[in-house]
Structure 1
Amino acid sequence: MDWIKVTITTTSEGIDPVSGCLLNLGINGVEIADKDDFMAFLEENRKYWDYVDEELEKQKDADTTITFYLSDEATGLEQLAAVQNSMAELKTKDLEHRYGTLSLHSDHVKDEDWSEIWKQYFHPIPVGEKVLICPAWEKTENSKGRTIFTVNPGMSFGTGSHPSTRFCIEEMEKYLKPEDTILDLGCGSGILSVIALLLGAKNADAVDVDPNAVDVAYSNLKLNGLSKERYHAFAGDILTDRSVQERLGTYDIVLANIVADVIIALSGIVRRFMKKDGIFICSGIICERLEEVKTALKQAGFEIMEIREDKDWAALTCR
């Protein structure tokens, strides 16, 4: 399968609203090149790198862009049209022109070129107090005592750089106890549930509506030297498919890094998958939808223990 590489030109201020639009369209694996953040990121993480190559250095002088990939077939073309419409709508709301041109540029990419493209953009990322996310093609010996999660992101899934993923990992670090059991809803690359195992969880189940996610999650499990005996991933819709619900048990921590609408829908059923003192960590919430999500969770009987916000993104930890 070949791919369409789509690049949206925006500004630093436009990154979160554009990313939110893409996430609502089911696109959560993106490359962000932001001049304002680049130097701070470089200095903070230099201790994990021996050098910075010239191609990466060029980002500090480039436009702020968000790049993602769609399949070069009917489904991908439909998504591309939806993105164009979404950017046009966002532009009409941006009366102060804070988000830049929001122009789209597309190129065709051969399938065999994909693995090389990711290597240009993805470097080790420290998250929270304990985790260092590393791409499979980089060897990191200087982890500073952090638990290394090795990831092969695949085409459609995130790598841990997004605030919503970071929130989940940081909250999980706070509440995860040895031998806890984990349920990862909307698992994508399996990043959250595999990291949970690396941090000491007993076992984890992972669910995603995309069958490709199962293969990517198992691939990342293997990359990190973990056994399938502790991990079970499968495809299905937990909201509508009773057979999916029946395959699940009860868990100490339930993770849902999805979107506001799905979290609202989950609020009425997720309790049945939680142990008596279980924790529900949900993220991927655009701040303008935060009150809706809080209301739904409170109406379902949840106590909101923590609220995390970063620019346009939010996460909630509940019990």
Structure 2
Amino acid sequence: MDWVEMRVQTAPESEEAVFNLLLELGAQGTATVGSSLLKNRESQYGEWFDEAEESETGEEKLWIAGYIKAEDFQPSLVEKLKKRVENLTVYGLNPGPAEVEARRVSEEFWEKAWKEYYHPTRITDRLTVKPLWESYRPEPGETVIELDPGMAFGTGTHPTTVLSMKLLEETLQPGQRVIDVGCGSGILSIASARLGAETVLAVDLDPRAVENAERNVRLNDLQHRIRVREGDLLQDVDQTADLVVSNILAEIILQFTADLPRVLRRGGVFIASGIIAEKEKEVVRAVHDAGLTVMKSLREGDWVALAARS
């Protein structure tokens, strides 16, 4: 099958927002390409990284790519995407150059390029993420999460995911119940189970995410502890949990903080990531209004993750 790759050059703070825009326009998968890939690895698939370079000011050029089936692609999508990216200023985000390009690629090319740069990565003291096609022998005390990210979901190495997993490792107690809101690939649900959670409910509005998360849960043989289902944030969740984790945009987190007192047990913890630094105060205020107290925050670059207790 052939695909059309739509690439957007943007600022790092708009990365997650551009992902969402691409998916809204019909992308079946996304990927991030930055100059760090060129610096760290040489690839026979050079054209895959040909736009990943530094600007004249020395700043990294960040390209977000989305993949649409060639049969579904319309040239008008390029201009539509450009306008939506430029409009991110309304939400206080810097869209960067907002340049949009499109080209036709084969699925075989995409898969080979993907496997060229995705390898086992130690995320925290205890957690390592490993793609399913790699062999890996863990060290004593190291827990491995096997992941098939698929075209639509990340590798687990994005700063927002790393921050989430660090807070999970510090906060989650064995035997606790967890709800993962906006589960994506299911990586945080799997990490929770690996860290000792008794049960995990993984929820995502996108049926593709549900399918991908279910596949990764099976890869890790955790079907007996993790239940994945389609759902709109916490709206139709009727169970309670000791810990709620969510790695999505701040604007989406703000939509369900009012539901936290209903699902989070007394003394429970809410971990929120995907928060750009400029939105931190707004999220902290919403969490406080929901009756929670922020215990800790972690930062990496422009990204912030919070842990708050009820």
- Fold conserved (TM > 0.5)? yes
Alignment of 1:104-115 (within 5 A): 104-111=100-107, 113-115=109-111
Looking at structure 2, the residues matched to 208 and 80 of structure 1 have their Cα atoms a distance apart, in angstroms, of 27
Residues 180 and 252, structure 1, Cα contact 8 Å, conserved in 2:
yes
Q: How does 1:93-108 map to 2 (within 5 A)?
A: 102-108=98-104
Amino acid at match of 1:288: E
The aligned residue for residue 157 of structure 1 is 153
Stretches of 4+ moved more than 6 A in 1?
Answer: 56-61, 75-79
Matched, 1:230 2:192: no
Q: Which amino acid aligns with 1:173?
A: E
Shift of 1:148: 1.0
Within 5 A, what are the aligned runs for 1:40-55?
54-55=43-44
| Paired residue type of 2:65 | F
1:216–1:20 Cα change, 3 Å: closer
Q: Equivalents in 1 of 2:77, 2:195: separation in Å?
A: 36
Given that 1:125 and 1:133 are in contact with CA atoms closer than 8 Å, whether structure 2 keeps it comes out as yes
The alpha carbon displacement at 1:136 in A equals 1.0
What one-letter code is carried by the residue in structure 2 that aligns with 1:84? K
Q: Quick one: distance in 2 between partners of 1:251 and 1:79?
A: 41
- Counterpart in 2 of 1:49? none
State the Cα deviation string for residues 142-201 of structure 1 (Å, max 9, x = none).
Answer: 546421111100121122111111111000000111111111000000000011112221
The aligned amino acid for 1:282 is A
Contact 2:86 2:95 in 1 (8 A): no
The 8 Å contact of residues 138 and 144 in structure 2, kept in 1 or not, is answered as no
CA-atom RMSD in angstroms: 3.2
Matched-pair identity in %? 31
| 8 Å contact kept, 2:178–2:201 | yes
Of Structure 1 and Structure 2, which has the larger fraction of its residues in helix? 1
Q: Cα 1:282–1:123, aligned 2, differ >3 Å: closer, same or farther?
A: same
* Aligned partner letter, 1:5: E
1:38-187, aligned counterparts within 5 Å? 54-55=43-44, 63=53, 64-72=61-69, 80-88=78-86, 102-111=98-107, 113-141=109-137, 143=139, 145-187=141-183
1:318 alignment counterpart: 308
Amino acid at match of 2:115: K
AA at the equivalent of 1:83:
L
The runs of 5 or more residues in structure 1 that have no matched partner are 43-51, 92-96
Deviations 1:40-77 (A, max 9, x none): xx5xxxxxxxxx76548997995144242232365887
In 2, the alpha carbon distance for the partners of 1:56 and 1:174 equals 39
TM-score normalised to structure 2 length: 0.81
* Map of 1:94 onto structure 2: none
Conserved 8 A contact 2:19-2:66: no
Please give the TM-score of this superposition, normalised by the length of structure 1. 0.79
Inter-CA distance 239–172: structure 2 relative to 1 (3 Å threshold): closer
Aligned residues: 292
Query: 1:266 and 1:9, CA in 2 relative to 1: closer, same or farther beyond 3 A?
Result: closer
Residues 2-41 of structure 1 correspond to what in structure 2 (within 5 A)?
A: 2-9=2-9, 14=11, 16-23=12-19, 25=21, 29-35=30-36
8 Å contact from structure 1 (residues 163, 313) kept in 2: yes
2:26 maps to what in 1?
none
